[in-house]
Amino acid sequence: MRRFAPAVLLLLALALLAPPASSKPRDPVHEITSEIICPCSCGEVLSGCTCDTGKAMQATVENGIKAGKSKKAIVGALVAQYGEVIRGAPKAEGFNLIVWVAPFAATLLGFAIAFWILRRWVSRRRALVAAGGSVRPDGTLPFPSGRSPEGDVESLRARAEEELRELRLRR
């Protein structure tokens, strides 16, 4: 089995890197319009937009392709006319870089906080066991006060009844 592993990995890599057999030639107009959002209130991707503004922008893209303009020039002209809001995704530069970096940074921060909390919980449990606390058969630790859960329930019930009596006396 180990003898065939390199050959299987090579075939798998070639299969993943090879273009699909039935790939259609790319439509340059669709390639550009699928990355732009219509600036009117419909909020559609330009390639599927049917409003007047969207149709006018699609015509601008088609005319630009026919005139031999590059994708960058066509998108640049549309951004200059309608603003950055038409981009489907903001450019990864300047202040817009925050949009790309913040989700990953927040996720990493969340994992770090969770790791820190879990580590504290485990160390507290180990310290309690080391201090003479015993682990129950179900894996839980006894209450730190040394009382049983039933004893705590009774003390809480007595405290609640006492507070109710005080409230009734105040009326």
Mean pLDDT of the chain: 79
Q: How far apart are CA 125 and CA 128, in angstroms?
A: 5
- Per-residue model confidence as pLDDT tens digits over 95-111: 777 878 889 999 999 99
Q: Domain span at residue 130?
A: 97-170
Note the pLDDT of residue 139.
62
Q: How does 39-50 read in b/e, with b if 16+ C-beta sit within 10 Å?
A: beeeeeebbebe
Q: Which of 73, 71, 96, 101 is nearest to 84 (CA)?
A: 96
The answer, yes or no, to whether residue 131 has pLDDT greater than 90, is no
Residues 6+ apart with CB under 8 A from 62: 29
Three-class DSSP category at 36 = strand
Say yes or no: 80 and 104 in one domain: no
Say yes or no: 77 and 122 in one domain: no
Note the pLDDT of residue 41.
75
Note the pLDDT of residue 151.
67
Look at residue 17 and tell me if it is in a domain: no
- 4-31 mean pLDDT: 68
Q: How far apart are CA 160 and CA 166, in angstroms?
A: 10
- Per-residue model confidence as pLDDT tens digits over 45-84: 888 888 888 888 888 888 888 888 888 888 888 888 888 7
Q: How far apart are CA 67 and CA 63, in angstroms?
A: 6
Residues paired with 45 in a beta bridge: 37
Say yes or no: 121 and 82 in one domain: no
Question: What pTM was estimated for this model as a whole?
Answer: 0.43
Say yes or no: 83 and 104 in one domain: no
Residue ending a domain, choose from 89, 123, 142: 89
- Indicate which CATH number applies to the domain containing 83: 1.10.8.640
Say yes or no: 114 and 76 in one domain: no
**Number of domains observed in the structure of the chain:** 2
Note the pLDDT of residue 88.
74
